[in-house]
Structure 1
């Protein structure tokens, strides 16, 4: 009898009830909204990555201009004029309206949109934690990462991109753990979610391949083939929007649209250049990149976000270390549902690798303007959507049966709470 119908499966369910309290998603939701709201209304510093550009795109969408058009005054730029001030924002003009739906549903000023974005993103992640079953620790670990949190407290495409990606992964994991085989209604659900997934960041469409993780859930050949439908939906959705914005250069001051197409052609004719590109991104010292903003090197800050919180406000060790320890505890202390087979491991590994390759290539051809050097502008926060898949590859080093659950839960809670109190202190005090 398959493992997921066995008594061992029921034992995992029993341990699941012990190890992942049902209130954890509610606690996450309340904590995120309370702490985020305090920073939004009373924070002395901002962590808005491209905040003006995202806000300009929101205002443009609110005015009814879904497909951006070029300005006569600035023929290569998408612009928005506010109080006589011209704001250029090609990098966010390519974003689908879906990633800004909180600000389109709840119309208001920047702060109101920030609260709406925070509530919607936190709600999606809370649902993901709730339905992820024995993989809830993995979703929670990525959710409490300060970089994830800071991406939700202002109107940004990252908030919905990250939260919806986590939700999609959680849905697949939920279906994987359910009793019984897959049904047509599950395929319909995955297709609907895949269409939405195709409307977030373009590179995130690759996450839809995770549906093939469900192949062991059915022996019906037709049902196995039907798992290709969500993949088709996601890539079709992504392609249709991409065609609508294919006339836009992401950063025309750095790389024109024609140059972007030329670089794409170079990679198609010389695909081996990707390996050199990836090697430099992975191993070249960060301070060898000389891009500066306001006279400061920015590439090191962009790549250290996992350890300092944000690019603009870098938090000290005393604030960041406790939550990072809590995250590692969540990742290495868990109850694995069951062993993955070979091709499942291959799928879980291939998706983050493809995502990283596509992200590097996209940054190279649209921002760096070269396929022979390092990718300037690549940021660690871009990896958040696929981090749960990396985490799936972590071996179950310590099972819940080998730890004191009460002390474990309390340790994770207190470490996380300490860091987020530190975040509040860092942002509420005027330090200079």
Structure 2
């Protein structure tokens, strides 16, 4: 049996005791304080809540807090699955029906109060995101640049599955980048953390299971050290994710991930995709490149640009552009080194991103019964791709940027963020 030694503990993400002075000026701490303040203001005064499928998510959270881990069949016999809202009415769930209890963890501490659930979601999400920024070390500005995007901020201010899905995806990717910055392969402590994280990864959205492939960057970094093949760690992590995702899929196999079609039509839609993979590829191609004013759905434009503006009110360019500029500067600042030197590392990251997109498209198409296979996939929203945003940023070639005058550059960046968030709060809270 291998014990966790002092050497193993010294390689864990929070080794040492940083001074208070360094802590309060660290990007992670400043992000935590700023986001908590902005988030609490939004929760208290938001007139236009950016809460996608809010009623369904809250009913699912209440259902889980009452001890019902699985969605319930609609009493009307329609074949739909859902749960009872706070007013006692039954609500049919969409893909919310198959969400695991893990993605509603913050809401379980709210005692059934939706406002308290929003606060607990914000607190846990902001803290976990700050941890991700901290442990990513050299890449901290890359993760900070993603965390300040309006879509990420708005996703963690309300009790939805998006909050935990996004924050845990960010944390998992940050943890792998932390491991790749070590001088030696993961010891017992980090291996245990990775296995636990891998199990949890399989219990958020099924599409996020693709992120487990990121651990296979570790062999390119460590190859073979001290007679311990690092691929065994990677294999154990991969099997952990497959195990947890498989168990939950088995438990929810009789529940359609749709409020539109019943289980039979949902399975027919999924079977049609498997029988006609080239039509599915054509649908993915159309979804990437088809002009949004020709899809036949007026909501597709808003769905497509929400990665930049956030869900809900479409923010004007005067608000969005400063935040996008600040985000891009930070991402580039965090891209001054590579995770692994071999080109295969970039192929793995690109492959994960493509696989994630394909799984998301197939999931959305089957939730409609795949009626338009080969054409544009209606219902695709760019907020679904927040989990792979760090991977897309890691595909950028390493670059070194800096302001000639550090103080002026810092003031400029802070001004962009302050202006953008002030505009965001006005757009949501001011009665225009």
Query: Counterpart in 2 of 1:340?
Result: 341
Between the aligned partners of 2:194 and 2:93, the Cα distance in structure 1 is 33
Greater mean alpha carbon deviation, residues 201-210 or residues 264-273: 264-273
Q: Provide, for residues 369-411 of structure 1, a one-character-per-residue CA deviation record: whole Å limited to 9, x for no partner.
A: 33222110000011100110110111233344x7443333332
Aligned residues of 1:368 and 1:376 also touching (Cα < 8 A):
no
Alignment of 1:227-376 (within 5 A): 227-253=234-260, 255-291=261-297, 297-310=298-311, 312-334=312-334, 335-337=336-338, 340-367=341-368, 369-370=370-371, 371-376=373-378
User: CA shift at 1:259, angstroms?
Assistant: 2.1
Between the aligned partners of 2:200 and 2:179, the Cα distance in structure 1 is 18
Between the aligned partners of 1:411 and 1:212, the Cα distance in structure 2 is 39
Report the 3-state secondary structure (helix = DSSP H, G, I; strand = E; otherwise coil) of the residue aligned with 2:33: helix
User: CA shift at 1:346, angstroms?
Assistant: 1.0
Aligned residues of 1:211 and 1:227 also touching (Cα < 8 A):
yes
Alignment of 1:140-219 (within 5 A): 140-215=144-219, 216-219=221-224
1:104–1:404 CA distance, 2 compared to 1 (3 A): same
Query: Counterpart in 1 of 2:70?
Result: 67
Query: Counterpart in 2 of 1:8?
Result: none
Correspondent of 1:91 among 95, 99, 109: 95
Alignment of 1:125-144 (within 5 A): 125-144=129-148
User: CA shift at 1:200, angstroms?
Assistant: 0.7
Between the aligned partners of 1:94 and 1:202, the Cα distance in structure 2 is 10
Q: TM-score, normalised by structure 2?
A: 0.89
Query: Counterpart in 1 of 2:396?
Result: 394
Q: State how many pairs are aligned.
A: 405
Query: Counterpart in 2 of 1:122?
Result: 126
Query: Counterpart in 2 of 1:42?
Result: 45
Segments of structure 2 that go 5 or more residues without pairing to the other structure are 1-22
Root mean square deviation, CA, Å: 2.0
Greater mean alpha carbon deviation, residues 86-95 or residues 206-215: 86-95
Report the 3-state secondary structure (helix = DSSP H, G, I; strand = E; otherwise coil) of the residue aligned with 1:125: helix
After the TM superposition, list the runs of 4 or more consecutive aligned residues in structure 1 that deviate by more than 6 angstroms: none
Between the aligned partners of 1:92 and 1:147, the Cα distance in structure 2 is 19
User: CA shift at 1:339, angstroms?
Assistant: 5.7
Between the aligned partners of 2:309 and 2:366, the Cα distance in structure 1 is 28
1:325–1:28 CA distance, 2 compared to 1 (3 A): same
Aligned residues of 2:142 and 2:332 also touching (Cα < 8 A):
no
Between the aligned partners of 1:349 and 1:196, the Cα distance in structure 2 is 23
Alignment of 1:415-426 (within 5 A): 415-426=416-427
User: CA shift at 1:298, angstroms?
Assistant: 1.1
Q: Provide, for residues 231-265 of structure 1, a one-character-per-residue CA deviation record: whole Å limited to 9, x for no partner.
A: 11012111111111111122243x33222222322
Segments of structure 1 that go 5 or more residues without pairing to the other structure are 1-19, 292-296
Query: Counterpart in 1 of 2:17?
Result: none
Report the 3-state secondary structure (helix = DSSP H, G, I; strand = E; otherwise coil) of the residue aligned with 1:79: strand
1:79–1:337 CA distance, 2 compared to 1 (3 A): closer
Aligned residues of 2:143 and 2:390 also touching (Cα < 8 A):
yes
Q: Provide, for residues 292-327 of structure 1, a one-character-per-residue CA deviation record: whole Å limited to 9, x for no partner.
A: xxxxx21111111123222x2111111111000011
Q: Provide, for residues 132-160 of structure 1, a one-character-per-residue CA deviation record: whole Å limited to 9, x for no partner.
A: 01111111111111001111111000000
Greater mean alpha carbon deviation, residues 82-91 or residues 317-326: 82-91
Report the 3-state secondary structure (helix = DSSP H, G, I; strand = E; otherwise coil) of the residue aligned with 1:306: helix
Q: Provide, for residues 99-137 of structure 1, a one-character-per-residue CA deviation record: whole Å limited to 9, x for no partner.
A: 000111232411100000011111110000001011111
1:27 lines up with 2:30 in the alignment: yes
Aligned residues of 1:348 and 1:389 also touching (Cα < 8 A):
yes
Between the aligned partners of 1:129 and 1:21, the Cα distance in structure 2 is 14
Aligned residues of 1:55 and 1:110 also touching (Cα < 8 A):
yes
Between the aligned partners of 1:421 and 1:74, the Cα distance in structure 2 is 48
Between the aligned partners of 1:252 and 1:143, the Cα distance in structure 2 is 31
Q: Provide, for residues 316-357 of structure 1, a one-character-per-residue CA deviation record: whole Å limited to 9, x for no partner.
A: 111111000011111223421566312111111111110001
1:325–1:271 CA distance, 2 compared to 1 (3 A): same
Aligned residues of 1:326 and 1:412 also touching (Cα < 8 A):
yes
Q: TM-score, normalised by structure 1?
A: 0.89
Aligned residues of 2:104 and 2:159 also touching (Cα < 8 A):
yes
Between the aligned partners of 2:94 and 2:139, the Cα distance in structure 1 is 38
Between the aligned partners of 1:121 and 1:63, the Cα distance in structure 2 is 23
Between the aligned partners of 1:134 and 1:21, the Cα distance in structure 2 is 18
1:395–1:106 CA distance, 2 compared to 1 (3 A): same
Query: Counterpart in 2 of 1:79?
Result: 83
User: CA shift at 1:81, angstroms?
Assistant: 4.9
